Amino acid sequence: MKRLATLCLILLSAPALAAARDEPSSPGTSACDRECLRGTITQILYAFVDHDVSKLPVAGNLRVTEDAIEKPLDKVGLVKSVTRLRGYRQDIIDERAGVAVAGVMVEESGAPILLVVRAKVVGEKLSELELVATRSRADGMIFNIDAYSGAPSKAMSLVPHPSQLATREQAIEIAMHYPKGLSNAETFDAVGTPFAPDAYRIENGALMAGPGCTFNPGCDKIGQQSLAIFKRLGKVTVRDVVVDERMGIVIMRLSWNQRGPGSDKLTAWEMFKVYDGQIHMVEAYIRLFPPELDLGGWPIMAKQPE
């Protein structure tokens, strides 16, 4: 009887086991988990320090841009110029998309660089690498490197309780109020941007909005700060929405692409700390590009803020 029962159990289980074996992984789920993605960024950074990218696990169709210019990986200037990692590093890990973005302080022969690295991993191989380096005020308008002398900010590093976290879609919807305000409103409050009472914004290391801000009149209230300057820049384009679902961080690549005498292309990696249905902190890495550059031609979101 025991042998018969065992045989029946095997027969009943076999179809389910076969289905599980043949079933593809869930859509949008990367085989490269948090530590794999974090490790990929680490490998890239140390490959730069060692001036040797030959050991990086790369896909045959790898695409690389450095400061919006496409080039082969071994021709990237940072591969030859980076001499040291300074310690500051803010990781945003999107396991579903297989994408990691990191804001890092590195050095070129003793000179500090605020470097943003975006890496996409497919099948545990690097398929996309985007590098944007800000070296001075001329590059980023603001360059307060003292703010990046240690660990990332306490607010951005806070790990919310799972019950405080929005779904991926909700977090994106909340963060999307920000570019919507930039393109359409006098203030963020006018479009209902759900800032927490003590929310603030850091740009290239400087406090630009929120409690204690003295940058311009009214900037101490982030929701009420004037957005008049963005009327001159025009509508913002949103690209690369990356969501760290565990940390409650949404990061978007925003760009303004005005052309004409004296104009510049402005690109911003804007991070939003989202939990309890509110934005608690915004942190931006900003870089200006010449008007003739098209920011590397990376794809943009199909749906833009209205």
Helix (H, G, I), strand (E, B) or coil at 231: helix
What is the chain's alpha carbon radius of gyration, rounded to the nearest angstrom?
22
Indicate the fold that domain 159-297 takes in CATH. Answer: Nuclear Transport Factor 2; Chain: A, (3.10.450)
For 34-135, CATH gives 3.10.450.50
Question: E-strand spans in 57-154?
Answer: 58-66, 69-70, 82-94, 99-108, 111-122, 125-134
Predicted confidence at residue 258, as pLDDT, reads 61
| In the chain, ranges of CATH 3.10.450.50 domains | 34-135, 159-297
Q: Average pLDDT for consecutive 10-residue bins of the chain (306 residues)?
A: 44 40 41 94 98 96 94 96 95 97 95 96 95 94 92 95 97 96 92 96 96 90 89 83 97 78 76 98 92 73 76
Question: Which region holds residue 210: left if phi is over 0, alpha if psi is between -120 and 50, else beta?
Answer: left
Predicted confidence at residue 188, as pLDDT, reads 95
Q: Report the alpha-carbon distance of residue 48 to residue 68 in Å, rounded.
A: 18
Q: Report the alpha-carbon distance of residue 105 to residue 151 in Å, rounded.
A: 11
Q: pTM to 2 decimals?
A: 0.87
Beta-carbon contacts of residue 190 (< 8 Å; ≥ 6 apart): 181
Cβ(201)–Cβ(281) under 8 Å?
yes
Predicted confidence at residue 191, as pLDDT, reads 95
Q: Report the alpha-carbon distance of residue 9 to residue 11 in Å, rounded.
A: 5
CA distances from 136 to 61, 115, 141, 144, 177 (A): 33, 12, 8, 9, 30
